[in-house]
Amino acid sequence: MSSAINLSGPHKTRLTDLAEQAGVSTATVSRVLNGKPGVAAETRQAVLAALDLLGYERPDKLRNRSAGLVGLIVPELTNPVFPAFAQTIESLLSQRGYTPLLCTQSPGGTTEDEYIDMLKDHSVDGMLFVAGLHADTRANHQRYELLRTQNTPLVFVNGFASEIEAPFISCDDVAAMDLAVRHLVSLGHQRIGLAIGPDRFITSQRKIRGFREALTRHLGILDTEQHVATSLFTVEGGQAAAMELLEARHTAIVCGSDLMALGAVRSARQQGLRVPEDVSIVGYDDSPLIGFTDPPLTTIRQPVAAMSGAAVSALVSLIEGASTPRKELLFHPELIVRNSTGTSPDARVHVYQGHQT
């Protein structure tokens, strides 16, 4: 067996390099590159990923033949959680043989309805929506019913509308808020606020409900309205909402997104407050690179990989005519504790005074 194999172009790929990158043996790499059977799908994918990462073109025999086209519609890409969903879903669709057509939205750009019309013109086999108009309680959902009457398989991620008969994949926002509030209460915080995006979105409504229930459950607070500040799911929105909450003397802020949390950190510093010494801040999503911010952000992690896998499996099942539950699947979030949360300043004063006495 040669230690190099000829690919397209003048380059030669060293089997040892590919094997090291993929974490498999050179014999396995050789079997994959030569299209031999007897290699697990996950192993084959690891070798193909190694080819891509090392900058080599795939041999013609390894290039997938598309089983069909799938429309993938996501919101703007400034929030890093949406590119994370898009990349994961695209990869999983490709592994199943489908070619994704990525449609990204931005303010003033192409609308969801315009993308839908374009995808219909391309005769896509199905459509997958991430945090689309299905999550907007004020939007007309008849657009999706029309697609269903045309027998277009549909799957929705993050957002739920009971009148749409389709699979929904969501993160459990209510459970997420309980995780965040319980963590902050364990650090001695009594005045905890929520900085959240527009309440017309079902994801916002669920976070608000979960947050209020958690305040009542863990702190006995019944009047929770004063602890919620609504703005936009942006850095600037988080900054504005945090300013309102900090002026009301909250010592901890739970945010509806990581971008909002970064805005909350900025707001705290503009007011001469330290994070987490003076105010603790919790994000939501665990977006890529969010662990490298200053300070590294405590956040609620959406299980992007698991949610994406469920969404792709549901869509492919619908496309292939298999029976698929048309209901919402809720995925449990995870609290990721980093350096943006700490003991409440009120609790530290109480401990110090108790020590003095």
- Domains located in the chain, CATH noted: 4-62 (1.10.260.40), 68-171+304-334 (3.40.50.2300), 173-302+335-353 (3.40.50.2300)
pTM summary value: 0.84
Low-confidence ranges of the chain (pLDDT < 70): 1-13, 60-66, 348-357
If 0-12 CB within 10 Å is exposed, 13-18 middle and 19+ buried, where does residue 318 land? buried
Cα–Cα nearest to 169, from 320, 322, 325, 321: 325
In this predicted model, what pLDDT tens digit does every residue of 234-260 receive, in sequence order?
Answer: 999 999 999 999 999 999 999 999 999
Residue 116's SS3 state is helix
| Cβ neighbours of residue 10 closer than 8 Å, sequence gap 6 or more | none
Contact 262, 253 (CB under 8 A): no
- The neighbour count for residue 223, using CB atoms within 10 Å, is 9
DSSP state of 322: -
Q: What is the pLDDT of residue 16?
A: 85
Task: Give the Cα separation of 127 and 263 in Å (integer).
Answer: 33
Cα–Cα nearest to 130, from 259, 302, 317: 302
Contact 84, 287 (CB under 8 A): yes
If 0-12 CB within 10 Å is exposed, 13-18 middle and 19+ buried, where does residue 326 land? middle
If 0-12 CB within 10 Å is exposed, 13-18 middle and 19+ buried, where does residue 24 land? buried
Q: What is the pLDDT of residue 134?
A: 96
Q: What is the pLDDT of residue 108?
A: 83
Question: Measuring CA to CA, how many Å separate 340 from each of 236, 261, 287?
Answer: 19, 10, 15
Contact 261, 293 (CB under 8 A): no
Q: What is the pLDDT of residue 7?
A: 47
If 0-12 CB within 10 Å is exposed, 13-18 middle and 19+ buried, where does residue 244 land? middle
DSSP state of 142: H
Mean residue pLDDT across the chain: 90
